[in-house]
Every structure is written in structure tokens, then in C-alpha cells.
Structure 1
Amino acid sequence: MDASAYTDAAARIAGHVRRTPLVPAAPAGERANLWFKPECLQVSGSFKARGAFNSVLSIPEEKRANGVVTASGGNFGAAIAYAAERLGIPARVVVMTGSTELARDRIRSFGAELHVIGEHWDLSWEAGKELAAESGGTLLHPFAEDPVIAGQGTIGLEILDEMPDVETVVVSIGGGGLISGIAEAIKQRRPGVRVIGVETTGCPTLYRAREAGHIVMIESFVTNVPILAARTTEPINFEIVERCVDDLVLVPEDEPIEAARWMWRSTGLAVELGAATAVAAVRNGHARIGDGKTVVVLCGSGNDGLPPR
């Protein structure tokens, strides 16, 4: 996409989502030049609200009245449910059986029709297709459509606006929609900024695809971070990642939970394990960053790091 897709998305979603701040880790953290972009403070609980609103608002009004349908690990479903409630249209959301109760509760609270189907996201997506055919609603992909990618890319524009001298941006990867948008939006303005993508060792979808030189399917996986567990990506995401993402790194499965606990103890931010995966990549040295300013995108909120009651 050209740069106007991202600036148009920013204008379209303004007033519907929050412009999240950049929060310094220091003095809580060990790195003076480490900053967080807390999309855990975003409406509906994650960055997904950006792509959700841009997608729904891009549907012609006469078609929008039939509602929207999506399949999600949880966060995009909550974002679509929230956007649909705000815009006064019906929403049907399919989530994986491994989705969290927190995500399901959010989706229900926004008034969407919730379906729990499929051990893996692609099975949930097939169920979503059937629901869309039955209802006449518009089927919205959570990471592989231009409006979604452009909406997520507004995070990159905000980072550059607030911190023009940023050197590195670190982003967790599920299906690839978040990092696709952020990386392309940033590289169009500041090609020298390094963008690093992070996955867990249990589901290294984009990492294996880059090794192979083509999209791969992870046939089986065991991960503690199901919110990032997309077994494959899509051509649109893979092409942008290959062109715009400087490095892909893996985080061991046991590290995100400790990173989430550290975030709560040190910053008071309640982040999900997907966000904590990117934090772990920096804190534990998997992502190679220099002494310049580094921003870690905290993709969503969650209670993973909170002490038990």
C-alpha cells in the first residue's frame, strides 16, 4: 500500500480509538532508552481496534447494515464487537477453543453473537465463512486485508510523530497483520528504523516462512501464548514482512509469563502474554538492539502478570 492508505486510516479512525502515549521503561526498567507503546490501554483492550474500525468504516453503509462476521484468537473479535456496538450494527464472532475467558467476556459485553469453534484459528475461520454466508454479513479477516493492515499501521505513524529519532521498534507476531502495518508505515517515512518481529519457539510461523523463502503451515504446535498461535500467514502479510521487517526472533515458551509479571511489578501495566513476548525478547537479549531509542509495542491487555487473588 502507498503512504496515503495509512494517513487515510488515521483520519478515518480518529475519534473512535485512543492515541496511546509512549511510556518510558526507566526508571522501572534497566534500559534508559527503552519505551513502551501501550496498546494495552486501547479501546476494547488491544491494538486490534484500529484495524477493526478502519475495516468496518470502509464497508459501504448500505452493506454495513447486514452486520459483520469474523474469526479471531480473541482480540480482533473483541475489537469488531466493540466497533459494531459503537456503529449500531450486528456482529458475529468465532473464537478458538483456546481463547481466554477474558476475551470471550469482552466480546459478549459488547453485544456480539459469540461462537466458540475450532482448536486452531483456520478452523474458526472456516466456521466464520459459513456464518457470513448464512447471515449476509461482511466477513472481515483479522490480519490479511488492506484496511486491517492500514489501521494497525497507524501505530507506526504515531511512534514516528512522537519519537522521530527512534532507532528500533519491536513487535509481536501472530498472523502478521500488526507487524505488516507498522513496518510498512514506518519504512515509508523512515527506512533506517529497524523493525524486529517476535514469535515464540512453540509457533514460529513467520520465522519458518522466512527460512523457507515461502509461506509454511505449522502442522502442530504447543505454545503458552495461544493469542499468537496462527499456524500460517497470508501472501499479503508475508510479502510486507519480507520487504520491511529487518529481523525475526524467537522467545522460549517459559519467558512471556515472567515478562508479564515484570511489567505489572515494574510499570503497573497489565499485559497479555502476546505483549509480554515482545518484552521478553528485549529484556532477555533475543532481539538485538543498540543504545538508541527502542519502542516495544504492547499489543494487548490481560491478567497474565497479575498476582492471584
Structure 2
Amino acid sequence: MTTKLATVTLRNGSLVPGIAFGTGTKWFKRPAKDADQDAVSRELVDSIKRALHAGIRHLDTAEMYNTEEDVGLAIREFLAESGLKRSDLYITSKLFKGATDVRGTLTRALALLQLDYLDQYLLHAPFLEDIPDNTKTLGEIWAEIEAVHRDGLVRDIGVSNFGIPHFEALRQHATIFPLVNQIEFHPLLQQTDLAAYAKEHGVVLSSYGPLTPLTGSPDKVDATALNVALDAAAERAGKTRAQVLLRWNLQKGRVVVSTTANPDRLAPLVEVQSFELTEDEVKEIDAAGATLTYRKFWATKKFD
């Protein structure tokens, strides 16, 4: 039986596949230092293709990850093998250091991805002070993102790692308010105020690091109560803790970015679209996670 794909609808009517295969974290690559260094990881290309053949239709990459070329090769090979069309896929990328030249950075990304357009393009972070030689304001950068959207090079535009103050700084300049905010989101970092703000302004939240309570929290964080709640839901549904965490995200209305290099974990990733947690299970996970706060990524930055 074919699993029905979960989707999230953006404010402009775009349908976004709810599960995205991410090419950051584990796959993050430093820029090649010399001509002899392989630019493309065959392991990543093959992992992306396996994900696509398993039914994933959303790929997430970024200028910062240095994986756009890998994603492009995987897309080309998969489309040739599957007979599907470019329009059957949803491709997200992000820019940060390249925000000093949005159009030039996007042009390079499209060349690496071997695509004519991106489905989604995000400003990776609001921390412009970390961009070398940047003299542009947030409003000026966003205006350039709006311009490539108007030219049809990008269909949906948004941001990543934005807190409420960053949105408020942008709001006075934006003609098109961001459609998406991709953030670290899991039971130990629920960001309820930001979620309420996003809902008020029609911004869909996309979650990265959704499995952090299982894979990335330090020993000093006592997640016993959360694990009890996850185990209870997993036992009832016949699923794993990881699947419960991903499903919890989906039921929050999030797009979920996750990844794996293990072929055996692809089917469970796709299967999170085929079961539901009860309302009580969601509330129990909420309550257990809310007793703690842990941010793994961009942990030294100020978000509120």
C-alpha cells in the first residue's frame, strides 16, 4: 500500500511535502581545499536517491552545507531512473554568506543543483554580523530575495533561525512577509511564543533537529519524563521513539527535516506519515518536554 504523503499548505497556497530529507548535519562539508579533493560525496548522492525511491519528495540543502552539487546529481540520476518529472519534487535551499549577492548566489546554486528554479529559498539566519564584508541591512537582503521570487527563480521564500525580534525588524521592510521559518524544534525546544507569532502572521514553521532529544542533548539534561511519554506512545502505536518524535512534529503542522545514511531507516521515516498520535499523547509529550530547555544549534545566539 502506498503511503499518502503528508503536506503543509503555505500562505500562498503552495503545498510542501511534510517530510524533507536533509543534507546538513551529518552531511555538512567543508569547502574543498584543493583540486584533488572530491567535491561530490557518492555516499550522500546514493542516500538521497534511496530516500527519493522510498517516497520522499522534498530535499533540503544550503549554501552553508556545500551539498548543493550532490543534491543536483542525485536529482538528475533519480529522475532518469524513475521517469518522474522535476515538478514532482520540492527542493529547498538556503543562503547566508552569499546574502551579499543574492542573485549571484542563487545563480550558482541553481547551476550546482542543475535546476531552473527552486521551490523554496530561505535566508539561513538573521545574524548578519557573521557574514564577512557584509554592508547590507536585513531589509536590503530581503528585497533581493523578493526580486528573485518575482523573476520566477524561486517559488516560495522564507527565513530560518528567526526569532520574534528578527521578524519585527523585517516586517517594516517586507513586501512579501516570509512564508516559512525553519527552526530547531523538538519537545525540549518548543518555542511556544514564536509558534504563536508564526500562526498569527501566517508563517509555517519547518523543524530541523527533530530527533535532538534522542541524539544530541547533553547528559546533564534529564529527559526521563520525556522518554516515558515517548515510550508509552511508541508502544501503543507499535513504533519507535524516533518515529513518535517525527510524528509529533507533523501533528504540530510542521514540515520536518530529517536524514539518515542507513537504508533500513528510510522506510520508518516514510511511515511516520501513516499513523497518528492521540491528542493525549501529544499533550503528554508537550508537558514532559516543556520542563526542560535545550538548544543544540546556534546556541550562543540571541533569539528573543
TM-score, normalised on structure 2? 0.28
Whose Rg is larger? 2
